[in-house]
């Protein structure tokens, strides 16, 4: 009876919300304990008590209401594809691969460049693919890691229904969090698919001779392994294979000190992207300095 309360005494709310769910603790635990699972469970309690407020709470509200954390119109979800003639599932109903674009690449100007590049490569390799376009909603990965199981389930059930209506079996995505959610979370709500990171598919296309295997990029390049790609799913070689293939003889792939499955966190996972952290306190500052070096 004298034991401290788990919430607020043994573990503070501040500590729970500070976690980026990078999974480094789970990865190194010799007993196989998953602190990330315990933290997200405790976050569910905080969500249930109405303890999440401000910007992260608003991002969840917008995700539930509009299908994306910025609350932007679903009608704008294909703005990234302007002039690329990207087929919707209704345009190419017999597609082989569904390209899951995700919220960031749909709405963020910088991330849109990634989606455009992926599409151009798929078109160059003559891949039969399609996108959901306005039918695509946030997968709810952030919601689940933040502890809002209700919002996650609502989004997931909607998306699983949409994917089933188009008989989707194979999905490619460039987003590590979308990849993780589709692989790890969606089987819980009846959605089981073959899910590829875009680098794995592009490597596959290179091996089949559908994409060039030589490049002319000079100078140094480096690669940041996202936690949910390198550490959680162990996918470290395909990105590097592709980078090496585009380098000229004078180019070089240089690794940061922490890379592969021992990568360093950018600080945005676990819903932390939606918290109003001051620039000087952000977890990713050290990582940026490491990559720049």
Q: Are 210 and 129 in contact (CB under 8 A)?
A: no
Cross-strand pairs, 173: 100, 197
Which residues have a Cβ under 8 Å from the Cβ of 40 and sit 6 or more positions away? Answer: 21, 144, 145, 146, 147
DSSP labels for 179-193?
HHIIIIIGGGGT---
Question: How would you write the pLDDT of the chain (293 residues) with one tens digit per residue?
Answer: 678 887 888 899 999 999 999 999 999 999 999 999 999 999 999 999 999 999 999 999 999 999 999 999 999 999 999 999 999 999 999 999 999 999 999 999 999 999 999 999 999 999 999 999 999 999 999 999 999 999 999 999 999 999 999 999 999 999 999 999 999 999 999 999 999 999 999 999 999 999 988 888 899 999 999 999 999 999 999 999 999 999 999 999 999 999 999 999 999 999 999 998 888 889 899 999 999 99
What SS3 class is residue 192?
A: coil
Q: In this predicted model, what pLDDT tens digit does every residue of 176-196 receive, in sequence order?
A: 999 999 999 999 999 999 999
- Phi, psi dihedrals of residue 62, rounded to the nearest 5°: -65, -40
Question: How many whole angstroms separate alpha carbon 141 and alpha carbon 146?
Answer: 9
Count CA atoms within 13 Å of residue 72 on its CB side. 17
Among the listed residues 212, 174, 173, 168, the one whose alpha carbon sits nearest the alpha carbon of residue 191: 168
pLDDT value of residue 1: 60
pLDDT value of residue 92: 97
Phi-psi region of 165 (alpha: psi -120 to 50; beta: other; left: phi over 0): alpha
pLDDT value of residue 82: 97
Length of the chain: 293
Question: How many whole angstroms separate alpha carbon 93 and alpha carbon 103?
Answer: 23
Helices and strands per DSSP (H, E), number in the chain: 12, 6
Measure the CA dihedral 204/210/215/220, to 10°. -30
């Amino acid at each position: 009876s004298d034991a401290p309360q788990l919430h607020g005494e043994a573990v503070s709310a501040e500590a729970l919300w500070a976690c980026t769910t990078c999974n480094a603790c789970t990865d190194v635990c010799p007993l196989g304990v998953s602190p990330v699972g315990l933290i997200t469970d405790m976050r569910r309690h905080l969500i249930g008590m109405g303890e999440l407020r401000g910007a992260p709470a608003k991002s969840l509200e917008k995700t539930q209401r509009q299908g994306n954390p910025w609350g932007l119109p679903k009608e704008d979800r294909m703005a990234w594809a302007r002039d690329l003639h990207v087929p919707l599932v209704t345009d190419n109903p017999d597609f082989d691969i569904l390209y899951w674009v995700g919220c960031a690449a749909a709405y963020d100007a910088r991330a849109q460049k990634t989606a455009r590049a992926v599409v151009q490569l798929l078109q160059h390799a003559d891949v039969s693919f399609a996108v959901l376009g306005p039918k695509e909603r946030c997968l709810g990965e952030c919601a689940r890691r933040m502890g809002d199981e209700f919002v996650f389930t609502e989004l997931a059930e909607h998306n699983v229904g949409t994917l089933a209506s188009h008989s989707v079996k194979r999905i490619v995505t460039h987003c590590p969090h979308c990849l993780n959610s589709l692989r790890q979370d969606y089987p819980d709500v009846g959605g089981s698919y073959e899910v590829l990171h875009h680098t794995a598919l592009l490597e596959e296309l290179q091996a089949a001779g559908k994409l060039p295997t030589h490049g002319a990029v000079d100078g140094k390049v480096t690669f940041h392994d996202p936690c949910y790609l390198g550490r959680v799913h162990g996918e470290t070689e395909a990105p590097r294979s592709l980078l090496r293939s585009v380098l000229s003889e004078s180019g070089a792939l240089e690794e940061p000190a922490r890379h592969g499955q021992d990568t360093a966190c950018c600080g945005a996972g676990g819903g932390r992207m939606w918290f109003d952290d001051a620039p000087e306190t952000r977890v990713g500052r050290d990582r940026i300095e490491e990559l720049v070096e």
